[in-house]
Homo-oligomer: A and B are copies of this chain.
Amino acid sequence: MKLTSKGRYAVMALADLARFNNVNPVSLRDISLRQGISLDYLEQIFSKLRKKEIVQSVRGTQGGYILNKKAKEIKLTNIFDAVDEKVKTVQCKKESKKGCNGKATKCLTHNLWDELENHIYNFFDEKSLEDLVKENSERRI
């Protein structure tokens, strides 16, 4: 079990964006420098975030990105979904009646992974970007 960089960076970048998202858009270059994330990689990530309407882009000089909703309304599940970070722990297709081993019934551990999936999903669905920013409000970067 691990988390990939894409999801990790997406959350990190948005947390940064939420913090500095006062009036002006925040450029990816700034986020890249502050958070130590490759600019090119950030662009891939923000392209996805924009398509899922989590951020808006502002082109041109002094451009950048702004949040498309209030930080409180952006749950971590939304972010993960946008960048295709899967919180999938069952192996099989849930809708199918077949098991992950190709047999007719679900495997011995199917229920376990399904429970875990819910467990993790709930964790992410309760956390908003605002929560994240608040947690860090006393800190300096």
Closest to A122 in B: B119
Instruction: Compute how far the CA of A102 lies from the CA of B111 in the bound complex, rounded to whole angstroms.
Output: 39
Q: Given contacts A36-B101, A140-B105, are A123 and B119 in contact (CB under 8 A)? A: yes
Q: How far is the CA of A101 from the CA of B127 in the complex (A)?
A: 23
Contact present for A1 and B36 (CB under 8 Å): no
- Asked if A57 is at the interface of the complex by the 8 Å CB criterion, the answer is no
**Hey, what's the 0/1 contact readout for A96-126 against B, CB within 8 Å counting as 1?**
0000011101011101110110011001000
Is there an interface contact between B119 and A12, defined as CB atoms closer than 8 Å?
Answer: no
Q: Interface extent on A, as a size class?
A: 35 or more
Beyond A35-B101, A108-B141, A119-B120, 20 additional pairs, beta carbon < 8 A:
A1-B1, A1-B4, A1-B85, A1-B86, A1-B87, A2-B89, A3-B113, A8-B91, A8-B109, A8-B113, A12-B108, A35-B108, A76-B112, A105-B141, A109-B132, A111-B135, A112-B132, A115-B123, A116-B123, A120-B120
